[in-house]
């Protein structure tokens, strides 16, 4: 959960930049014990705003005759937000994203029971993509050298791990799309018997598809399993900095739980939780332009049908159409540059706050001094 490429995977830094898990705890407390999944969707959109808040709509208007059904289908699915309980979101954030306990064999499922990845006996198949900026290959594969010290250790454990990577598919494309990475998914499912028959070790799955058809089946395409070394999967990242993030998160969470959480829970009611739910930007940006909330939109809907039937679109290579596309591309480029600047500033802030041991030790010293150790300041008796 801590691994990633500098400047490419900024989400792993948010735990440190936001001060740890206390903010998720506060959000759940204000939600009357429930954490609104709309916050997670908003975080996802903020990763690449040029795509979520611009390209998605620009593509709809550029291809308005063919994109409407696909756009609405995705929006209905994307905006079906789920809720997590306070306990669920805190367990996920504290133990996994900030605590990184799973690969260390410390993640406690219940009393006296911890998750140990070495005890998995079935073959493991990993599908990762370099276009996935939430779970990049650094994370999807980085746990392997953390659990098995080398290739021989993996073989001695009798385990078979097979991985394959894609150069560009995004996070949603890997996990929920039926149309983006369908060849990879089919190849995995059609090769389970071959994976079961492999000797213990680490393998990279390669797909050879001369036809280029993503919907083809064997034997039109073929696969091969190339042996790999566990040692080659090790990635370099500032582990000490993330350990410091965990310390800060534990401290802030203890303060919040003791002094703020009781008040937040006392002030939160089902009514205030519902109000915060419907005022969330991921919802207001949608329902403010709906016919149910804004009656004047019914007039727009009535005008849309005759306009759609009678409009005369310009030719695809008309100068005005080409200029429109150039302008849309310029906006995309500008938003992308802004995002790159934001991510670079986040990396710099994280490096300054957590990768500088002298500065971090000074901050901890100030906190410890104020927290009541032997050198704490006492008021003058006079």
pLDDT in tens, 261-270: 999 999 999 9
| C-alpha 115 chain-centroid distance | 22
* Cβ–Cβ under 8 Å, residues 161 and 124: yes
Q: Is the pLDDT of residue 50 over 80?
A: yes
Instruction: Identify the three-state secondary structure at position 35.
Output: strand
Q: Is the pLDDT of residue 378 over 70?
A: no
**Of 137-141, 175-179, 347-351, minimum mean pLDDT range:** 175-179
pLDDT of residue 379: 37
pLDDT of residue 11: 92
Identify any residues that bridge with 44 across adjacent strands, giving them in sequence order: none
The overall average pLDDT reported for the chain is 90
HSE-CB for 219 with a 13 A CA cutoff: 0
Q: Is 321 exposed, middle or buried (0-12, 13-18, 19+ CB in 10 A)?
A: middle
Q: What are phi and psi of 28, to 5 degrees?
A: -70, -40
Residue 92 banded pLDDT, cuts 50, 70, 90: very high
Mean pLDDT of 120-143: 93
Structurally, how many domains does the chain consist of? 1
The DSSP symbol for 313 reads P
User: Which is nearest to 26 in space by CA: 287, 262, 326?
Assistant: 262
CA gap 255, 100 in Å, rounded: 22
212: which 2 tokens?
């280029």
Residues contacting residue 218 through CB under 8 Å, at least 6 positions apart: 190
pLDDT of residue 180: 67
Residue 171 banded pLDDT, cuts 50, 70, 90: confident
Q: What are phi and psi of 327, to 5 degrees?
A: -65, -40
* Cβ–Cβ under 8 Å, residues 346 and 353: no
183: which 2 tokens?
């060849």
pLDDT of residue 380: 40
Q: For residue 296, give its domain range.
A: 286-311
pLDDT of residue 365: 63
* Cβ–Cβ under 8 Å, residues 132 and 45: no
HSE-CB for 57 with a 13 A CA cutoff: 9
∠ CA 275-277-282 to the nearest 5 degrees? Answer: 130
219 prior amide bond cis, ω within 30: yes
Q: Which helix (H) or strand (E) holds 323?
A: helix 319-354
Instruction: Identify the three-state secondary structure at position 13.
Output: helix
Mean pLDDT of 309-313: 86
pLDDT (tens digit per residue) in 2-16: 999 988 899 999 999
Greater model confidence, 246 or 290: 246
CA gap 213, 30 in Å, rounded: 50
Q: What are phi and psi of 204, to 5 degrees?
A: -105, 130
CA gap 115, 370 in Å, rounded: 38
pLDDT of residue 241: 95
113: which 2 tokens?
């029971």
Residue 326 banded pLDDT, cuts 50, 70, 90: very high
Q: Is the pLDDT of residue 108 over 70?
A: yes
Strands 124-129 and 160-166: parallel
* Cβ–Cβ under 8 Å, residues 138 and 3: yes
Q: Is the pLDDT of residue 18 over 90?
A: yes
Query: How long is the chain?
Result: 382
CA gap 289, 270 in Å, rounded: 26
Residue 107 banded pLDDT, cuts 50, 70, 90: very high
Residues contacting residue 280 through CB under 8 Å, at least 6 positions apart: 36, 38, 39, 42
pLDDT of residue 178: 59
pLDDT of residue 362: 63
Residue 364 banded pLDDT, cuts 50, 70, 90: low
In a domain, 9, yes or no: no
HSE-CB for 162 with a 13 A CA cutoff: 23
53: which 2 tokens?
């808040």
Mean pLDDT of 51-55: 92
pLDDT of residue 373: 46
Residue 369 banded pLDDT, cuts 50, 70, 90: low
* Cβ–Cβ under 8 Å, residues 245 and 16: yes
Mean pLDDT of 3-31: 94
In a domain, 335, yes or no: no
| Residue with token string 């050198």 | 375
**Of 187-201, 245-259, 350-364, minimum mean pLDDT range:** 350-364
Mean pLDDT of 88-113: 93
Q: Is the pLDDT of residue 374 over 70?
A: no
Alpha-carbon distances, residue 179 vs 134, 143, 174 (angstroms): 20, 28, 10
∠ CA 284-287-290 to the nearest 5 degrees? Answer: 150
In a domain, 227, yes or no: no
**Of 34-43, 169-178, 193-202, 236-245, minimum mean pLDDT range:** 169-178
């Amino acid at each position: 959960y801590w691994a990633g490429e500098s400047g490419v995977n900024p989400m792993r830094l948010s735990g440190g930049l936001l001060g740890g898990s206390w903010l998720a705890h506060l959000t759940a407390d204000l939600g009357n014990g429930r954490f609104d999944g709309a916050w997670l969707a908003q975080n996802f959109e903020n990763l690449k705003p040029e795509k979520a808040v611009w390209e998605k709509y620009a593509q709809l208007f550029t291809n308005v005759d063919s994109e409407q059904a696909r756009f609405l289908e995705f929006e209905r699915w994307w905006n079906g937000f789920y809720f997590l309980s306070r306990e669920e979101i805190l367990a996920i954030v504290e133990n996994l994203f900030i605590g990184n306990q799973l690969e260390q064999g410390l993640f406690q499922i219940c009393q006296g029971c911890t998750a140990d990845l070495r005890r998995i006996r079935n073959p493991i198949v990993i599908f990762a993509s370099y276009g996935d900026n939430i779970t990049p290959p650094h994370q999807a594969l980085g746990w392997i050298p953390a659990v098995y010290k080398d290739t021989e250790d993996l073989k001695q454990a009798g385990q078979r791990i097979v991985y394959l990577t894609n150069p560009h598919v995004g996070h949603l494309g890997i996990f929920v799309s039926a149309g983006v990475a369908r060849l990879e998914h089919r190849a995995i499912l059609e090769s389970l018997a071959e994976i079961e028959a492999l000797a213990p070790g680490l393998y990279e799955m390669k797909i050879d598809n001369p036809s280029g058809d993503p919907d083809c089946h064997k034997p039109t395409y073929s696969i091969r399993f190339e042996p790999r070394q566990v040692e080659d999967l090790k990635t370099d990242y500032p582990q000490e900095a993330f350990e410091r993030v965990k310390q800060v998160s534990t401290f802030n969470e203890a303060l919040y739980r003791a002094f703020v959480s009781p008040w937040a829970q006392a002030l939160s009611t089902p009514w205030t939780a519902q109000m915060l739910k419907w005022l969330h930007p991921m919802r207001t940006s949608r329902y403010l332009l709906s016919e149910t909330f804004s009656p004047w939109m019914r007039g727009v809907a009535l005008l849309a049908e005759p306009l759609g039937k009678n409009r005369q679109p310009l030719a695809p290579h008309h100068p005005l159409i080409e200029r429109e596309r150039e302008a849309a591309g310029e906006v995309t480029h500008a938003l992308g540059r802004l995002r790159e600047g934001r991510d670079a500033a986040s990396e710099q802030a994280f490096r300054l706050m957590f990768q500088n041991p002298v500065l971090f030790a000074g901050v901890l010293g100030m906190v410890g001094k104020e927290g009541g150790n032997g050198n704490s300041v006492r008021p003058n008796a006079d």
